[in-house]
Amino acid sequence: MQLPTAFIQKYTELLGEEAPAFLAAFEEQPTRGFRVNPLKGGQTPTAHTLKEPVQYCSFGYYGAVDGKTLDHQSGLIYSQEPSAMYVGEVAHPQPQDRVLDLCAAPGGKTTHLASFMAQGGLLVSNEINRKRAEILAENVERFGLQNTVVTNESPDSLEKYFPEFFNVIVVDAPCSGEGMFRKDHEAVQYWTPDYPASCANRQKKILQSALKMLRPGGRLIYSTCTFAPEEDEQNMAWLLQNYPDMQMVPIKKFPGMQDGRPEWADGNPQLKAALRLFPHQVRGEGHFIAQLQKADGQMQVKAPKPQKTNLNRQQKQDWHKVEGQILKTPIPESRLLVFGDYLYAMPANLPQLANLQVVRPGVNLGRYKKNRFEPGLPLALANQPEAFVAPVQLTQAQWENYVHGDTFTVSEVSNGWHVLVCRGLTVGFGKVVNGTVKNFYPKKLRFAVRNK
C-alpha cells in the first residue's frame, strides 16, 4: 500500500521506535470477524466456525461472513471488524437503559448494544445520511430488534427532542479513517495533512449535542477508527476542559491495547484512561475508545410525553385478523403505530416522534394493502419460533427455495399465514394454500444459494 508521505512522517515522529512495525502492518491483510446474536434463542451458526473467539468481546469471533447463508439471512451473525467490537463491549448497557447510538450506520455498534439489552429499555439509533440510515434500518431488522428506533437526524436537531434523556450514549464519530486504510484503500485517497483537524471540528459539534442529551450520572463512549491525536486525545482534552462535570472512566485493557497518550494532547493524566488499538499490536484495525461519565445531579428537564397509537377501526380489524393467526400473545394496542402503509410495534414508553425524521419507529409488523394486512419479514426475525402459532419447519432445500423466491409444498399444514422456521431460526412468512406455500420473502432480498 502506498501511504501518503506526510502520514508516514507524522507517525514516524509520534511513534518513534514503534513506527516501523506500525507502518509495516499496513502491508498485511485486514482482519475479519463477526458476532453471534444472543437474541436468537441460543442457536449456533452452521456455516461459520466458532473456533477463534475474540478475547475481549462476549459474542465475537474471527472469520469472514458468507452473506448467502441461513446464519446471515436469519440475523444469527453480524459481520464486524474485531477492533470495533470493543466499543459496544465498553458501553455494555443494561436492559432497562435508554441508549443512543448517535452516528450509527451501518449498524455494528447498534446491534452490539442491543445484544446486552435483551429487547428491554429503549435504543435510539441515529444516522444523518438518509441512504446509510436505510441500510442501518435493514441491519436492525435482520438482527431482530424490538426495542430500537432508527432516526435520520443531525445531532443538533436530535438534541431538541431528547434533553438529558439517555443513560448511555455512543458516539462512534465520523473521522479521517486512518485506522481503516488497509481495509478501505479509498480512505487513503481522501487523506490530507489537514483532514484530521477538519474532522476534529465536526466531532466537537457532535459531542456538544451528545452531552446535552446525556442524563446526570450517564456514560458517554467516544470512539474513532483513526490514529490522529487531533481527533482522539485532543478532542477528549477539549471536552474535559470545557465540561467540568465530565470525567474519564478507565477501560479494561487486554493484551496489546495501549493507554491513551496525554503527551499527544494537553498532558492531562486522565487521558491515559482511554485506549488505543494499533494493528501491529492487536489482531484488528486501528481504533480509539474513551469512556466518560457525567456527574450526578438533578434533572433539569421533564420527561417527554409518550408516543400515542394512531390506528383507525379498519386498520385494527385487518391487523387483529392476521395477528390471531400467527402470534400467540397479542401486542398491546397502545404500542401500535401506523407509519405510511406500514404497521409498527413501538418500544414501550417511546417518546413522541412528531417532526422527527424517523426511518423505523419499532418493529415493522407488515403492510396494509387493499382490504388486507400482510405480515412482514421483520416481525418474523424479531421473535423466537415459540412466539408463533403453528410454525412451519423448513428443510435446508426448502429454505433455499424460499430465499430464491420460489413456491414449495408442505403437508398437513392448515391454510393461512405461518411463520417459517429453519434449524430453529425464524426466516420469514408464507401463506399456505392447499399445501402450497406462497412466497412472501421480499423481492429485493432474494438470492440464489451457491451450488444450488
**CB 142, CB 380: distance < 8 Å:** no
Indicate the residue type of 246: M
Where residue 428 falls among pLDDT bands split at 50, 70, 90? Answer: very high
Query: On the CB side of 46, how many CA atoms lie within 13 Å of its CA?
Result: 12
156-206 pLDDT per residue, tens: 999 999 999 999 999 999 999 999 999 888 889 889 999 999 999 999 999
**Confidence bin at 305 (pLDDT 50/70/90):** confident
Residue 62: the pLDDT is: 98
Q: CA 60, CA 75: separation in Å to the nearest integer?
A: 14
Residues 332-377 have pLDDT tens digits of 999 999 999 999 999 988 998 888 999 999 999 999 998 899 999 9
What is the per-residue burial (b if ≥16 Cβ within 10 Å, else e) of 37-53?
bebbeebebeebeeeee
Continuous H helices in 182-229: 186-190, 195-213
The rounded distance, in Å, linking the Cα atoms of 208 and 246 is 12
| Strand, coil or helix: 168 | strand
Q: Is 243 exposed, middle or buried (0-12, 13-18, 19+ CB in 10 A)?
A: middle
**Between the CA atoms of 377, 378, 383 and 389, what dihedral angle is there, to the nearest 10 degrees?**
-40
Q: Tell me which of 57, 103, 225, 422 is the catalytic residue.
A: 225
Strand partners, 343: 338, 366
On the question of pLDDT at 302 being above 80, the answer is no
How high is the pLDDT of residue 452? Answer: 45
Query: What number does CATH give the domain 5-294?
Result: 3.40.50.150
Cell numbers that stand for 96 in this block: 432497562
CA 52/CA 55 separation, integer angstroms:
9
Query: How is the beta sheet containing 60-62 ordered, strand by strand?
Result: 60-62, 33-36, 77-79
- Across the range 305-321, mean pLDDT stands at 93
User: What are the domain boundaries of the chain?
Assistant: 5-294
Burial class of residue 395, CB neighbours in 10 A (0-12, 13-18, 19+): exposed
Strands 98-101 and 166-172: parallel
Active site includes 225?
yes
Percent of the chain with pLDDT over 70: 100
- Cis bond leading into 106, ω under 30°? yes
- Counting every residue, how long is the chain? 452
Task: Give exposure, 245-278, as e/b (b: 16+ Cβ within 10 Å).
Answer: ebebbebeeeeebbebbbebbeeeebbebbbbbb
Query: Would you say 53 and 46 are in contact if contact means Cβ atoms under 8 Å apart?
Result: no
- Per the CB < 8 A criterion, the answer to whether 94 and 53 are in contact is no
Residue 30's alpha-carbon distances to 63, 108, 182, 284, in angstroms, are 11, 17, 6, 7
215 within 8 A of 167, measured Cβ to Cβ:
yes
Residue with cell 459496544: 88
Q: What is the pLDDT of residues 83-99, one digit of tens each?
A: 999 999 999 999 999 99
pLDDT at 183: 87
